[in-house]
Amino acid sequence: MKTLIRFFVLSSLAFLGASCSSDSESLDVNSDLQQSDIKLQIATYYSSPSSPTQPVNNIKAEFDKKFPGATDVEWKVSNGIYEIDFDVNHIDYEAWYNGDANLLMYKYDIANSQLSPAVLAAIATDYQGYILDETEIVYKGDIIGYYLDLKKNKEEVYAFYNENGTFIARNLWEDNTIKPGNDANTTTPTIEGNTSDDESDALIAAYYSGMDMDVLASNVPSGIIANFNTLFPNARDIDWDYVSNVYNVDFEIGGIDYEAWYVSDGTLLMYTQEIRYNTVSTAVQNAVSSKYSEYMIDEVSYFQKGTVKGYIIKLENKRTDAELKVIYNENGTFIYQQYD
């Protein structure tokens, strides 16, 4: 998300199934950990980009016991949690271990036809008009479920259901997050204040020009905290940092990612909110379809910055996998684009 916002600030300144046999054997994840611990550790892995790493002896020993037929094994690490990508009988697997060699979660590809009728009925209701593209079965603590890749026109979304068809989350690292179709339950406050758009651009650019420093909520100016608690009363997983007297906060509401920027007097400069593409204004959807017919939607955020409201959209080329970020205001006016 920070990459999308950095791109937005620069642009503002510049322009303003493989199938699996039905007898695949499931393996228990670590039974000594509480479900809440597993959830937290998986979330910790996804909170930062992963990087390639060498096998770790104690984890490798446990991995070799659990998956003796693994081939094409690759290791990654993020925040002390290890992801191992591998094949078993030409089926793609992924497994996550913590540093104590506890298996937290694993998943593997299955045929769409192997989904339970309960899950198929649930997605027909929750994701009307979407086509099921890929399916994985997931073992995460005491949860057995399905991770689904669904597509509709240019939009691609993911959904995690348990085996009886109960919706769990839009991703693998949260449980009980907001269900599709309930985006209206999230928060979209209106920015008020006397800061001009140009001033907001300059202040946010100053934030990205330096090295951010973590700050405890108790050390954030009281005016900012008061405004934040008023505008985003249901925020959780809150993380503050600052650069040049500009304070940035990452948080979630109902499983939806948000990011906001404040100055010391409590003025909100800008915020972004992760959204589904089908909630984007019709004018923007039409503009994107016309201008970027060779691309599919990868990630979308709604933003407000000063008096400007619009969308930051990450696109991926269907043929080349090239990535492109574009910005539109909410009435469909093109603002900027940048290739990654």
Sign of the torsion angle spanned by Cα atoms 232, 202, 193, 227? positive
Q: Note the pLDDT of residue 58.
A: 96
Q: How far apart are CA 245 and CA 261, in angstroms?
A: 10
Take residue 71 and report the two structure tokens written for it: 């081939």
Compute the residue count for the chain. 340
- Residue 27 confidence (pLDDT): 59
Q: What confidence score (pLDDT) does residue 30 get?
A: 60
What pLDDT score does 310 carry? 92
Structure tokens at 316: 């991926």
Q: For the chain, give percent helix, strand, coil, nearest 5.
A: 25, 40, 35
Low-confidence ranges of the chain (pLDDT < 50): 10, 13-25, 184
**For residue 154, what pLDDT is reported?**
67
Which pLDDT belongs to residue 270?
Answer: 94
Kindly report the pTM of this predicted structure: 0.56
